[in-house]
Amino acid sequence: MADFVPVRLDPFQRIGNVGWRRGELWAWGGNAYGQLGLGTTADKYSPVHVDGLSWRSVAAGKWHSIGIASDGSLYGWGYVRPSLPTIIGSKKWSMIAAGGEQSAGISKDGGLYWWTGGVTNTSPAPYNPTLAAAGAWKFVAAGGFSTYTGPGRDHGWHYLAINDAGQVYVWGDNTFGKLGTGEHGPLTGFSLPPRLISTPPMAHVAAGGDHSLGITMDGELYAWGANHQGQLGLGDDVLRNTPTPVPGLLWSNVSAANCGSFALLGGVVGSRAHSLGVTTDGDLYAWGHNNVGQLGTGDTIDRNTPTLIGSGWMRASAGDRYSVALREDGRLYTWGLNAYGALGYGGTDSSSTPILVGAGFSGMAAGDTHVLALKRRTPAP
């Protein structure tokens, strides 16, 4: 048996569509709903500074953004809140997650919350944070739109949450088995309260549009849900409705593309069907759908097992057919589809290999077509 290598995560290293480390906020890409936080709706093709606050973490959804300021306060902007960061309530927060049109978070007192939409839209209530479950929670992930649009869909959203004991609880859509309950189908999902699923003790989870990923306390990767483009990394295209181990490597963070275009299977299939992961050694891997180069392999061939992209990486985030990743030295790279300037390098072409956006970054979050990124604050002279 190989020697056990423990996972050593710094306290800011997270997964999915959440960017961490306190600092200045920069944004680029699609901005039709004001999700960049600039007070306008003009798309931006290179990073633009979002004036005002110092941020502890940010999260990017399909058309909206949320963030925790340095004092622990929660802010939201974009669909359909104001296009400038606007405070939400008075509660203090320790973690947030953004999905399709919905969000989730964990308060400082350990409560698990969820909400959707804004203050005047027609999305299902609640529009502001509402308690999903009391207790001691440590991690939450919010999935995006499902590709399924038939009876029982209910937007296709799903949620994954981890308590202090490492147990995983779930609720929401389960069309492709992404809740991991052992069932799948449009009528097998459920609403609150969250239900416990069977997994080893987990440290992290990531919620895609139709699939889910989790990292155990020992650094092992598990995957479940849709697999039509190999996004589970198991070497085939067979759906899994229970958490299934992905053998071979130890992981520090993973991301499941969760904010892609709303589409029928057979239409824009797999727009949320790729996954990214960084191992404990800093190696970046990608797998799943690759029709526009979102895996960063230099081609457009799908991969159904984790494929090495390079070494020296810290974390990665998957958007709608594009990817964002941060190197250990603070340089930020993007690749894949460049819709509305999501790649952030100033041009309009897409790319199947990583393109440098800039340096000095400490965290990032990929939404549908927009990116939020944090830079360490420069001390005043």
Residue 319 has a pLDDT of 94
Short-list 253, 252, 270, CA closest to 261 = 270
Domains of the chain, first to last = 18-375 (2.130.10.30)
Question: Residue 66 forms beta bridges with which residues?
Answer: 59, 76
Residue 240 has a pLDDT of 98
Residue 378 has a pLDDT of 60
Short-list 19, 4, 3, CA closest to 253 = 19
Residue 22 has a pLDDT of 62
pTM over 0.85? The answer is yes
Residue 269 has a pLDDT of 32
**Sign of dihedral through CA atoms 174, 180, 181, 185?**
positive
Residue 379 has a pLDDT of 53
CA 363 to chain CA mean position, Å: 13
Q: What angle do CA 317, 321, 326 make, to 5 degrees?
A: 25
Identity of residue 142: A
Torsion angles phi and psi, residue 339, rounded to 5: -60, 125
Torsion angles phi and psi, residue 2, rounded to 5: -70, 150
Tokens 């080893």 sit on residue: 200
**Successive 10-residue mean pLDDT values, the chain, 381 residues:** 28 39 88 96 97 93 94 92 90 94 94 72 64 95 71 68 98 94 92 96 94 95 95 97 96 74 30 87 96 97 97 95 96 97 97 98 94 80 49
Annotate 261-329 with DSSP letters as a single string: ----TTSSTTTT-EEEEEETTS-EEEEE--TTSTT-SSS---EEEEEEEESSEEEEEE-SSEEEEEETT
d(CA 127, CA 4): 45
